[in-house]
């Protein structure tokens, strides 16, 4: 298959083939396609994904059988966006504006990316899709005193949208990751409800349930059957550290000779998760764009002496095990793929959002 900007979807490969289409989806800030893939698995037709990162073209197009449009969302023409939707189907505009400006990891407020939430609002106002879904970090709600989020809500209400939103704890929705996300749904056709939790704390998905089926791997090694199941190398010192690390423990339990200089300083004493191992019997911590580095957080494998592989990070983001991120034979770049995977909307969460939208579409007779 040739992957290019003129990609033409094959209807026979879409789960909706042979049934009434559930809706036409355009994914803004689509990244590697996690949000779109959840909708596709629930029977929606993916019309297109839009992102500025060319590296996302292959995973988006290959896994979602839909065209990728490389463009800065800030420069998008609303007419162009409107023309991407399939005709005679409910139009669903989804997106996750880059969340780094609102993350607790980013202490500054001068990142121009925060303005992309306003860009998303403008596209909604000028294209008037039937339904809108936005997913982001919880901090967006009160970032800069809540002004950015309130402006977004006001823009949608002025266009006649009914809005629902909440902060969702992802294990409640079947994602093996202890993080929370903001979910917003809006409709021009009446009240729309948010997805209900699917799991209770007693049956939360765990790290082990997500990754234990993968072959064992040494630090710096690559699984011959899956190039994405590849772990970063560890220095001799970090190998000694991870051998001392207890799942769920901290560097405070190590011999003094292994403690990093940064942790000896007053400020560093509170960073207990760095150089930590995950617990296999609990959901993972937040998968960041640097999850593949043992020293970047609690990203040590629960039992093996290494950090997480790229495939393990993708599974903890609830991508299917078969999800392809690079063309066969192409070199795997940790930094680029780590960013793609860490920035993605978890596929399982996307499926829950898609089901809620489908329930609304059926209820209002679209």
59-106 tens-digit pLDDT: 999 999 999 999 998 899 999 999 999 999 999 999 988 754 434 444
| pLDDT for position 266 | 57
Provide the pLDDT confidence category of residue 286 given band limits of 50, 70 and 90.
very high
| pLDDT for position 33 | 98
Give the Å distances, CA to CA, from 189 to 130, 342, 363: 7, 34, 10
| pLDDT for position 270 | 63
| pLDDT for position 150 | 95
Taking the C-alpha atoms of residue 295 and residue 242, their distance in angstroms, rounded to an integer, is 10
Angle made by CA atoms 59, 198, 161, in degrees to the nearest 5? 70
Provide the pLDDT confidence category of residue 318 given band limits of 50, 70 and 90.
very high
- DSSP for 97-126, please give it: ---GGGSTT---S--GGGGHHHHHHHHHHH
19-60 tens-digit pLDDT: 555 899 999 999 999 999 999 999 999 999 999 999 999 999
Coil/strand/helix, residue 144:
helix
User: Locate tokens 């966006």: which residue?
Assistant: 81
Provide the pLDDT confidence category of residue 338 given band limits of 50, 70 and 90.
very high
Region for residue 190 given its phi and psi (left: phi exceeds 0; alpha: psi -120 to 50; beta: otherwise): left
Q: Which of 30, 56, 96, 99 is catalytic?
A: 99
113-158 tens-digit pLDDT: 557 899 999 999 999 999 999 999 999 999 888 899 999 999 999 9
Q: Is 4 a catalytic residue?
A: no
| pLDDT for position 17 | 46
- pTM comes to 0.89
Assigned CATH for 207-343: 3.90.120.10
| pLDDT for position 102 | 36
Tell me the average pLDDT of the chain: 88
Across the chain, where does the E strand assignment appear?
Answer: 24-28, 45-51, 68-70, 91-95, 131-136, 162-169, 180-187, 222-223, 226-230
CB of 340 closer than 8 Å to CB of 59: yes
228-266 tens-digit pLDDT: 999 999 999 999 999 999 999 988 888 888 887 776 765
Q: Give residues with Cβ within 8 angstroms of 333, minimum separation 6.
A: none
109-118 tens-digit pLDDT: 444 455 789 9
Q: Where are the domains of the chain?
A: 22-200+346-364, 207-343
pLDDT above 90: residue 9: no
CATH topology of domain 22-200+346-364: Rossmann fold (3.40.50)
């Amino acid at each position: 298959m040739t992957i290019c900007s003129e990609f033409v979807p094959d209807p026979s490969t879409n789960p909706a083939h042979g049934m009434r289409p559930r809706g036409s989806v355009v994914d803004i800030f689509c990244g590697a396609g996690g949000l779109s893939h959840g909708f596709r698995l629930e029977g929606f037709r993916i019309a297109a994904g839009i992102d500025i990162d060319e590296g996302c073209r292959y995973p988006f197009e290959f896994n979602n059988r839909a065209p990728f449009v490389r463009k800065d969302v800030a420069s998008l023409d609303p007419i162009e966006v409107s023309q991407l939707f399939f005709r005679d189907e409910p139009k669903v505009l989804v997106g996750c504006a880059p969340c780094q400006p609102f993350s607790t990891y980013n202490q500054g407020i001068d990142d121009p990316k925060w303005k992309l939430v306003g860009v998303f609002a403008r596209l909604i106002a000028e294209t008037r899709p039937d339904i809108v879904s936005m997913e982001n970090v919880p901090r967006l709600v009160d970032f800069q005193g809540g002004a950015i989020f309130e402006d977004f809500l006001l823009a949608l209400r002025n266009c006649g949208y009914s809005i629902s939103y909440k902060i969702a704890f992802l294990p409640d929705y079947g994602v093996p990751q202890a993080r929370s996300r903001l979910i917003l749904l809006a409709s021009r056709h009446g009240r729309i409800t948010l997805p209900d939790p699917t799991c209770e704390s007693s049956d939360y998905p765990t790290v082990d349930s997500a990754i234990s089926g993968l072959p064992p791997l040494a630090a710096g090694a690559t699984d011959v059957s899956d190039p994405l199941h590849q772990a970063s190398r560890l220095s001799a010192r970090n190998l000694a550290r991870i051998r001392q690390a207890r799942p769920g423990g901290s560097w405070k339990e190590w011999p003094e000779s292994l403690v990093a200089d940064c942790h000896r300083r007053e400020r560093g004493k509170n960073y207990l998760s760095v150089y930590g191992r995950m617990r296999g019997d609990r959901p993972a911590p937040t998968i960041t764009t640097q999850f593949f580095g043992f020293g970047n957080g609690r990203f040590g494998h629960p039992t093996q002496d290494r950090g997480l592989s790229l495939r393990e990070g993708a599974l903890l983001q609830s991508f299917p095990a078969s999800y392809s991120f690079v063309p066969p034979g192409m070199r795997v770049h940790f930094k680029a793929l780590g960013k793609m995977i860490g920035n993605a909307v978890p596929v399982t969460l996307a499926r829950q959002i898609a089901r809620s939208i489908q329930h609304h579409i059926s209820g209002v007779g679209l």
